[in-house]
Amino acid sequence: MWKRVASLSPLISSKRSSTLNQAAYTFKRFESFTTETPAQGKVGMFFKGKTPFITFVLGGPGSGKGTQCEKIVENFGFTHLSAGDLLRREITSNTEDGAKILDTIKEGKIVHSEVTVKLIRKEIDSSDNYKFLIDGFPRSEENRIEFERITEAEPDIVLFFDCPEEEMVKRVLNRNQGRVDDNIDTIRKRLKTFESLNLPVVNYYSKRGKLYTINAVGTADEIFEQVRPVFAAHEELST
């Protein structure tokens, strides 16, 4: 199910030199933004002295992206934002927006992209950091379009954790988190949904030259050795 994506973006483990070159190019573009003087009268996350360096982290359920986000945070000082966690936190905050989100979910509907994007932007605006991992977002082309419309920007890097379906099914069944949807039938349905909604986003960013495809099979440390060069290149160029 993943071959069409892999053909668009070679695995980092076999293309380390091209990864470093691509990362260097991205950093130079990023550096040119962060050294500019903020425009007078502008507010929001793109006018705080440093333009945020944004990484989208994509992958199906059980692809291991959450574990890798923890390692990126630990090693490179990024702030980890989970779209799902932000929605759940808003629900428990007893705000008017949280109540609307809960009602939407109870009705079996999908939370509108604009709501999620505004929560993400709020977190970025209020942070002292400028390096962000946005985990599990965008989930669809609608999400992507709304993010770019509201923020007037694109991500600097997009990581896609490419994992075979059977491996993801096995991992989700074994993680024992007590989720009611962690049974084999519902897992496969979630994977089908991911494939139909998320892979167009992956392909879009591949064509934009922003995608880094990670072979998500192996131990967490082995997988991170593919991830590390992407961010290490930026660290080296910033010193």
Annotation-wise, does 30 bind a ligand?
A: no
Annotation-wise, does 110 bind a ligand?
A: yes
Annotation-wise, does 143 bind a ligand?
A: yes
Q: For residue 99, what are the CA distances in angstroms to 85, 90, 93, 95?
A: 15, 8, 9, 6
Annotation-wise, does 65 bind a ligand?
A: yes
Annotation-wise, does 136 bind a ligand?
A: yes
Two tokens, residue 90: 């808003």
Annotation-wise, does 66 bind a ligand?
A: yes
Annotation-wise, does 27 bind a ligand?
A: no
Rounded Cα distance, 40 and 90, in Å: 32
Annotation-wise, does 64 bind a ligand?
A: yes
Annotation-wise, does 218 bind a ligand?
A: yes
Annotation-wise, does 217 bind a ligand?
A: no
The DSSP call for residue 12 is G
Whether 60 and 194 have beta carbons less than 8 Å apart is answered as yes
Rounded Cα distance, 217 and 34, in Å: 35
| DSSP codes joined into one string, 72-139 | HHHHH-PEEEEHHHHHHHHHHTT-HHHHHHHHHHHTTPPPPHHHHHHHHHHHHHT-S--EEEEET---
Annotation-wise, does 35 bind a ligand?
A: no
Annotation-wise, does 139 bind a ligand?
A: yes
Annotation-wise, does 88 bind a ligand?
A: yes
Annotation-wise, does 77 bind a ligand?
A: no
Annotation-wise, does 187 bind a ligand?
A: no
Within 10 A of 90 (CB to CB), how many other CB atoms are there?
A: 22
Rounded Cα distance, 235 and 31, in Å: 12
Annotated binding site: 62-67, 88, 109-111, 136-139, 143, 175, 179, 190, 218
Annotated binding site for ATP: 62-67, 175, 218
Annotated binding site for a ribonucleoside 5'-phosphate: 88, 109-111, 136-139, 179, 190
Annotated binding site for CMP: 143
